[in-house]
A and B are shown apart, each in its own frame.
Chain A
Amino acid sequence: MLNYAASRIVQTLIVLLVISFIAFLLVANIGDPLAALLSADATVNERLELIAKLGLDQPLWTRFLHFIGNMLQGDFGFSYRTQDPVANLIAERLPATVELAFVSLLITIAVGVPAGIYCGVHPNSLFGRFIMLISTAGITLPNFVVGILLIAVFSVQLGLLPSFGRGTVVDLGFWKTGLLTVSGWRAILLPAATLSTFQVAFIIRMLRTQLMEVGQSEHIRFARARGLSEARIWYVYAIKNTLLPVITMLGLQLGNIIAFSVVTENVFAWPGLGSLFLQSIQGADIPVIAIYLIFVGLVFMVINLVVELLYPLIDARVLRRQS
């Protein structure tokens, strides 16, 4: 177990280092930090001072080590566009995105899991087929189309829910949350639903395939032969065997959630990391893009790692296969 964990952690660290290097190359080679940070009438001395301060006269490897060192101390550089520290920009936007992802995860679990189990247990029922049809649509519809259609129906035609912003936000000092007010919850419903469409559809299909496969397996047939009730067979024995792939998928979908959050946040004018990233791309703000690149890689890798380290706890066979 320890060997397994250690080798996975080392692999993750290497990949992260590679990603950081690519991000560093972006910052080092694209755009001109001097033009961005100096005023137009700066003197030659001011210029040289800044070059020395930023370490631009050092060799590439030294600068890379410096870059990593700064990052570990929480110094992510400065945005070319607003001149603010990137760390502040991210800290400001993070809560909105985390809350959006969290509520969409809640929706995914609350809608996707029961619907998927129903489809897996009753694959040929009329309602099961209906759910599958909807989920096919949900998996192909582009994220922004879902958002626009939801706005067209729920905010423009019916006037039920707001179509932009976060509503009233409560400042907890370290975290600005919209989840403590009614208007905050009303504002988060449409974007969270948009963001979760893909995962809900995905998890339904996943659970259905898994349950249908498990339903054919030996131990379920034996359970049936023993005369256990269908409910007990499905909900106690079959579902346990579908957990591993479903947890993996939920973990691996996180990358997609981050990508789709850029789109969703744009449609709903949600002031999160995704909109920051988009503004940075439009403004060619390389330092922010680079840090976002590392941030997404880090989140994705850590989730992957956690999922893989959880495997043996759910399914001991994984370890045996490793050794």
Chain B
Amino acid sequence: MTPVVNTPAIARRRSRGGKLLHAMRRAPGPTLCAVVIFALLIYAFVVPLFSLNPFEFSGMSVLDSFIPPAWMADGSADFPLGTDDQGRNLITAMAYGMRTSIIVGFLSVTIGLVLGGSLGLIAGFVGGKVDAFIMRVADVQLAYPALLLAMIIDGAARAVLGAERSVGTAMAIVVMSIGIAFWVQYARTIRSSVMIERDQDYVSAARITGRSNLSIIVLHILPNVMAPVLVIATINLGIAIITEATLSFLGIGIPVTSPSLGTLIRNGNNFLQSGEWWISVWPCLTLVLFVVSVNILGDHLRDVYNPRLRGRS
């Protein structure tokens, strides 16, 4: 008989690490995507710490404008990806832009999640007329694609607030309009799970012990219905970032003084015809790389944690 060396705790820890490695080896694509996302996150949040903001006067120099990427004829080693019309180093500008894009995307997904989540919880738990009303509103909203809806909400908010808007207000408008445009999906998913959970014995037990409806919803039901919604939220992060970039590209999103990837592309688009392709193409590729990685990882998580949702988009 061989002596048992491992204590149970160590064995468990080791097997968990092994599981992660195993999972990574079984899905090399999603693993690569996770690495790419992590690298881009570091790029977007660390580079701005060490460089001047290229969108303030101190950070740009018109003398350096329109320098092509380093490997082209007039390229300079100081600007590996080239500079734009104001002489901004595209590597720094894109880090700043991506930071804004990621923050806006993250905030708007959070808003959609909170809004859709609470409406879904209420609809599923209360049922009856309240449920019917919330779901009819959702149906009407589904007649419009989220992108169009975000544009309309954005336009209405601009009309209400008038022309004088601070950067913060403009960002808040974008975050709100994307968040509102995407609440339906969360609400529907949570509602259908809540309708199953509310008839479970543990809910009746909680009710017998005299818990209020609010604490039953928040403490008992919510933890049991969050998983599928969080997976959807991961996938929606990519869509939210695309929506923000689209709004900013169209000139109705983030203002130019605090640019996102979308505004960078919009600006670069002005010089596409005259041959300065790098100003718009680099932000385009960065956006695509990030969003594709988020999507592939999100799809993978969905398949792993919630196979029922497979095939739905």
Contacts and interface: CB of A to CB of B under 8 A. Distances in A.
Does A associate with B in a complex?
yes
A195 to B, nearest CB: 13
Interface in B255-313: 265, 269, 272-273, 275, 277, 280-281, 284, 287-288, 291-292, 295, 311
B73 interface: no
21 contacts: A15-B140, A15-B143, A18-B140, A31-B159, A137-B292, A142-B287, A144-B249, A148-B281, A152-B277, A255-B143, A255-B148, A258-B145, A262-B147, A262-B151, A281-B154, A281-B158, A289-B155, A289-B156, A297-B144, A300-B143, A301-B143
Interface stretch (B11-19, B78-86, B90-98, B238-246): B238-246
Contacts of A142: 242, 245-246, 287-288, 291
Contacts of A148: 265, 269, 272, 280-281, 284
A297 to B, nearest CB: 5
B144 A296 contact: yes
Nearest to B155: A281
A149 B272 CA distance: 10
Interface string B131-147: 00000000110011101
B202 to A, nearest CB: 36
Interface string A241-272: 00000000000000110111011001100000
A252 B158 CA distance: 30
Given A145-B288, A289-B156, A209 B311 contact: yes
B226 interface: no
A160 interface: no
B145 A144 contact: no
B216 interface: no
B277 A281 contact: no
B148 A262 contact: yes
A266 B269 CA distance: 11
B212 to A, nearest CB: 34
A256 B160 CA distance: 27
Nearest to B241: A142
Given A145-B284, A256-B145, 18 more contacts: A19-B140, A30-B156, A142-B246, A144-B249, A148-B280, A149-B284, A255-B144, A256-B147, A262-B151, A263-B246, A263-B249, A266-B250, A277-B151, A278-B151, A281-B152, A284-B155, A293-B152, A297-B143
Contacts of B272: 148, 151-152, 156
B252 interface: yes
Interface string A63-90: 0000000000000000000000000000
Contacts of B288: 140-142, 145
Contacts of A260: 147
Contacts of A143: 246
A28 to B, nearest CB: 12
Nearest to B281: A152
A199 interface: no
B127 interface: no
A271 B102 CA distance: 33
Interface in B149-169: 151-152, 154-156, 158-160
A163 interface: yes
Nearest to A301: B143
B158 A284 contact: yes
A148 B276 CA distance: 13
Interface string A143-164: 1110011011001100000010
Nearest to B245: A142
A203 interface: no
A79 to B, nearest CB: 13
Interface in A168-185: none
A144 B277 contact: no
Nearest to B139: A15
B156 A140 contact: no
A323 interface: no
What 10 pairs between A and B have smallest CB-CB spacing?
A: A281-B155, A284-B159, A259-B148, A259-B145, A259-B147, A255-B145, A142-B242, A30-B159, A145-B284, A140-B292
A26 interface: yes
A142 B242 CA distance: 6
A263 B287 contact: no
Contacts of A140: 238, 288, 291-292, 295
